[in-house]
Amino acid sequence: MSPLQSRAEARISASALTHNLTVLAARAGAKLLLPVKANAYGHGEHLISQIAAVHPGVWGLAVSVPLEAAEVAAVNPGTPIVLLTPPTPDELPLLADLGVRLPVATLEEAEALPANARAHLKVDTGMNRLGARPDLAVQVGRRLAERGLLEGAYTHFATADEEDLSFADEQLRRFQGVLAQLPPVLAHCANGGAVLSYGALPGMSLARPGLASYGFVPPHLAGVVPLRPVMTLRARVTALRTAEMGETVSYGNLWRAERPTRVATVGVGYADGYPRNATLKAQVTVAGERRPVLGRICMDQCMVDVTGLDVQIGDWVEFWGEGGVTVSDVAAWGGTNEYEVLTGVGNRVERVLVD
């Protein structure tokens, strides 16, 4: 074993993920097509996909791009994988051979699919990002069915995580209109916001909650089902010093000591995904207490006020996790959302599986 240690680690709780998948599948009244795109929202696609693949509430795994599909397929043989964004024509044969389910939105794509492919018809019901508008979707779906390639059909909500569901209602109505004109398929539309807002949706076989599976929901949906954050981010203290009264800490001298202050330097920075915009706002948990981050958050490090605490080099500082600071807090301090904070967790951060 190498003596080299990572300075920062993302602890991934298998029990939190398993719990979330169980309660979300129950709430959806459907099996899950778990989004593991973007390195499983930063949690580590291998760890997450291997836990999810054996969960009874999970049908399959959803990825965004073909490279992710190939990586996830390699470690989860036999688990259905659905690609959510359009592949190029040259990518089709390999993806079909890997068994990856392919999104289809045009008649040309329906014709170009290899005979061993399985298609999920993508319907644009109002997001205006991908997919065929309803009239065309019916034609494309029928052509895929004639070729014996139509396995699923799906759409994506633009506003299901908001309190006003009127636009989502309209999207749902359009999608159900398309489904009514097709042979039976695996239909899926609900992201996390829709699973929590609507519960079971008539006619849907699968649901795709992403952020909720990792433990986060918008404030107005908190408490609909009990969810647990899956990731804890922590890093080691790498140096300690005392800043005397009047001295400054970090780039730009943004923070000045008003009293002698014990300063711990900690091995996580914005290159690891700790948002630089959280400078002068962020707090962490250290030795059981909430403490402020001092001055500018650096690329690889940040400094924390540990005055009066028993803290040594090598001790852990927690940046977010269960019970302390949350990813939502960090997102608010950084002027962003939980999606961006989680997907920003960098490669240097070791993903460690814990119970």
Ligand X SMILES: *Cc1c(COP(=O)(O)O)cnc(C)c1O
Residue 124, CA atoms < 13 Å, CB-side half-sphere: 15
Contacts with ligand X by CB under 6 A: the residue count is: 11
204 in contact with ligand X (CB under 6 A): no
Q: Are 345 and 273 in contact (CB under 8 A)?
A: yes
Q: Which residues in the 153-182 window bind ligand X by CB under 6 A? A: 156
- What CA–CA distance (Å, rounded) separates 34 from 101? 14
CB of 322 to ligand X, least distance (A): 19
DSSP for 148-207, written as a single string: T-EEEEE---SSTTSS--HHHHHHHHHHHHHHTTS---EEE---HHHHHHH-S-TT--EE
192 in contact with ligand X (CB under 6 A): yes
CB of 239 to ligand X, least distance (A): 38
334 in contact with ligand X (CB under 6 A): no
Q: Which stretch binds ligand X (CB under 6 A): 49-57, 205-213, 288-296, 345-353?
A: 205-213
57 in contact with ligand X (CB under 6 A): no
- What CA–CA distance (Å, rounded) separates 63 from 76? 13
Q: What is the DSSP letter of 295?
A: S
84 in contact with ligand X (CB under 6 A): yes
Our answer to whether residue 37 is catalytic in this structure is yes
Q: Which stretch binds ligand X (CB under 6 A): 20-28, 110-118, 187-195, 248-256?
A: 187-195
Token code pair at residue 256: 């000045």
Which position among 31, 37, 122, 274 bears the catalytic label? 37
Tell me, residue by residue from 117 to 156, as one string, x for binding to ligand X by CB under 6 A and - for no binding: ---------------------------------------x
133 is an annotated ligand-binding site residue: no
Q: Which stretch binds ligand X (CB under 6 A): 51-59, 70-78, 93-101, 188-196?
A: 188-196
Our answer to whether residue 270 is catalytic in this structure is no
Specify burial of residue 335 (Cβ count, 10 A radius: 0-12, 13-18, 19+): exposed
103 in contact with ligand X (CB under 6 A): no
CB of 192 to ligand X, least distance (A): 3
Indicate the residue type of 94: L
Query: Using DSSP, how many helices (H) and how many strands (E) does the chain show?
Result: 11, 18
- What CA–CA distance (Å, rounded) separates 34 from 83? 12
Contacts 24+ apart (CB under 8 A), 84-89: 84/35, 84/37, 84/130, 85/130, 86/130
Token code pair at residue 20: 């979330």
Name the residue nearer to ligand X (CB basis): 182 or 221.
221
Beta-bridge mates of residue 153: 121, 187
Tell me, residue by residue from 211 to 250, as one string, x for binding to ligand X by CB under 6 A and - for no binding: xx--------------------------------------
269 in contact with ligand X (CB under 6 A): no
Among 35, 44, 60, 324, binds ligand X (CB under 6 A): 35
66 in contact with ligand X (CB under 6 A): no
Tell me, residue by residue from 301 to 330, as one string, x for binding to ligand X by CB under 6 A and - for no binding: ------------------------------
Sign of CA dihedral 128, 131, 132, 138: negative
Token code pair at residue 121: 């018809």
129 is an annotated ligand-binding site residue: yes
Applying CB under 6 A, which residues contact ligand X?
35, 84, 156, 191-193, 208-212
Q: Enumerate the active-site residues.
A: 37, 251
